Amino acid sequence: MKLIIGLGNPDEKYSGTRHNIGFDILDKIQKNWDFPEFSLENKFKAEISKKENVILVKPQTFMNLSGEATQEILNFYKLTSEDIIVIHDDLDIMIGEYKIATDSRSAGHNGVQNIMDKIGTQKITRLRIGVGEEKDGVLACHMDAHPPRVDDASSRVEAGDFVLQRFSESERKKIQDLEETFLEEIKKLL
């Protein structure tokens, strides 16, 4: 059995934000692969959709506590970290790009770090979806020691606020152009 865990925040006010890209991709999988509708499973602290040997998981503990739901589901189904695919936003990757990582550190992503802390290993597979933006040829989050979004010389948005912003139309288009690629990559990982 495989768990595909999309990271995001459950409150409707976070819908469509950069930080909720994991939830968005799970919604695409659910629809395109004919999974049943998501339903809240309180014992797992997550919304679940299960089909054959794949479980789609949207933790409902908010991003920074995603490990709670992950650990509960792993324990219940007697699964290991090798059975997990985590889909999440990544500020270090440009919009329109992605990376697949296995057995790598969280790189400051609190939701991923919480999963690693709760299950006791970093040996998980992750689909890291770029939500960073470029300014003057440099990924904006790297233009300062603290990862900011730099709009101009007098304006600055901290990383935590930046990931809670919604995509612009052009950014959303770049993500949509990659959705089929994401689904194909996930199929390869199953």
Over residues 34-64, the pLDDT tens digits come to 999 999 999 999 999 999 999 999 999 988 9
86 vs 162, residue with greater confidence = 86
Taking domain 2-133+166-189, whether its CATH number is 3.40.50.1470 is answered by: yes
Question: Do residues 85 and 126 touch, judged by C-beta distance below 8 A?
Answer: yes
Bridge partners of residue 139, in order along the sequence: 134
Residue 187, CA distances (Å) to 99, 126, 127 in order: 15, 13, 12
Q: Give the pLDDT band of residue 6 (cuts 50, 70, 90).
A: very high
Q: Give the pLDDT band of residue 140 (cuts 50, 70, 90).
A: low
- 6 contacts: CB under 8 Å, gap ≥ 6: 22, 23, 24, 25, 26, 56, 57, 58, 86, 87, 88
Least Cα distance to 5 among 81, 95, 76 occurs for: 81
- Domains in the chain: boundaries: 2-133+166-189
13 vs 45, residue with greater confidence = 45
Sheet holding 2-6, edge to edge: 39-41, 46-51, 54-59, 2-6, 84-94, 125-132, 98-102
Active-site residue, from 19, 88, 109, 146: 19
For the question of residue 109 being annotated catalytic, the response is no
Q: Give per-residue pLDDT as tens, 116-132.
A: 999 999 999 999 998 88
